[in-house]
Amino acid sequence: MIAGTDQDYSNGVLVSYIGPDDELGVFGRAVKSGLFWLDPEATWRMSYGLGQNMYTPQDTSRRVPDPEDRPYAGWLYGTVGISADARNPDGSPRQLDVLALEVGLVGPESFAEETQKYVHRQINSEKPEGWNSQLHNEVAFRLLYERNWRASDKWNLPLVPLEGDVTPNVGLALGTLATYASAGVSFRIGEELEDDYGPPRVRPALGSPGFFESVDGFAWYIFFGAQGRAVARDIFVEGNTFKDSLGVDLVPWQLDVQAGLALQFGRFEVAFTHVLRSPQHEEKGRWNRFGSINLRTRF
């Protein structure tokens, strides 16, 4: 609906909650003690989420999908994570580390087929016909570690009353769902930039863990960036891990390029992101584009 396409990464929804600063509970404290190389004086936060993703081939009108295109796949999952937000002596951000575990179901029990068909009926869109060939039911997981660091102090632009910052990042994911290493950089330019890391996004896309700081009144910023990934495994392209299923050959080197706008109103923020993603499988070799809308609030 946002980008005018319905293929590859067709849709994703994620609802998440970030807990209060340094209230970790027994589980969080145990994980924190294992992350011994991080700054113990950082601000630590727990996060929890529930999401659903769906992936489709290019031609969804075929009852028998193109065997040279990616398979239909759904992913219903829960996620739990912990982040360490390290600051400089003046309180400005220095480094953000995130460890997260996603566990869920791939296949019919993800209810992606029902969700997509329901939405298509509501918007009078063409019915997707090939879900009978989707990946089989399988429990899958992905363990992620991500590091973001502020490359420099917040800087002021010449001639205009705007601020900017630069945030490089690296990451690693291991699991039956996906295995990859990533590296990228993001930039923000705007008015009254707060000391956070920009809007979150559904992984594996470039984004932040979700927390942000309130503003007095209204503020805005534009953001843009890129992330490259070296991918060894992607269940949504290659098919089931433990069962025979449809699947195609994976492109191991992938790239996301994104740009967007965020608007902040006190304790609320709305952000729109447009993403261009390089080919993920060899047979079709097409670039994919999609949009993302993010809403978040502090309470």
Instruction: With cut-offs at 50, 70 and 90, classify the pLDDT of residue 149.
Output: very high
Residue-level pLDDT at 5: 75
The pTM assigned to this predicted structure is 0.92
| Residue whose C-alpha is closest to residue 264's, from 229, 222, 206, 234 | 222
Q: Considering Cα of 49, then 236, then 101, then 148, what sign does the dihedral take?
A: negative
Token pair, residue 253, equals 């080197």
| Higher per-residue confidence, 138 vs 284 | 138
Residue-level pLDDT at 37: 87
- Domain 8-297 of CATH type 2.40.128.140: yes
**Residues contacting 185, CB < 8 A, separation 6+:** 151, 166, 167, 168, 169, 225, 226
**DSSP result, 30-90:** HHHHH-TTS-TTSEEEEEEEEEEEEEE-S-TT-SS--TTSPPPEEEEEEEEEEEEEEE-TT
Q: Say whether the peptide bond before residue 108 is cis (omega within 30 degrees of 0).
A: no
**CB count in 10 Å sphere of residue 231:** 20
* Maximal C-alpha separation, the chain: 61
The mean pLDDT of the chain is 91
The whole-number average pLDDT for the span 154-176 is 89
Percent of the chain with pLDDT over 90: 66
Token pair, residue 14, equals 């994620």
The whole-number average pLDDT for the span 232-240 is 96
**DSSP result, 87-110:** E-TTS-EEEEEEEEEEEEEESGGG
> What is the distance between the alpha carbons of residues 285 and 139, in angstroms, rounded to a whole number?
29
| Residue whose C-alpha is closest to residue 218's, from 160, 269, 292 | 269
Phi first, then psi, for residue 137 (nearest 5°) are: -60, 135
Residue 54 clears pLDDT 80, i.e. is over it:
yes
Residue-level pLDDT at 83: 93
Per-domain boundaries in the chain: 8-297
Instruction: With cut-offs at 50, 70 and 90, classify the pLDDT of residue 169.
Output: very high
CA atoms within 13 A on the CB side of 54: 25
| Residue whose C-alpha is closest to residue 224's, from 287, 167, 263, 281 | 167
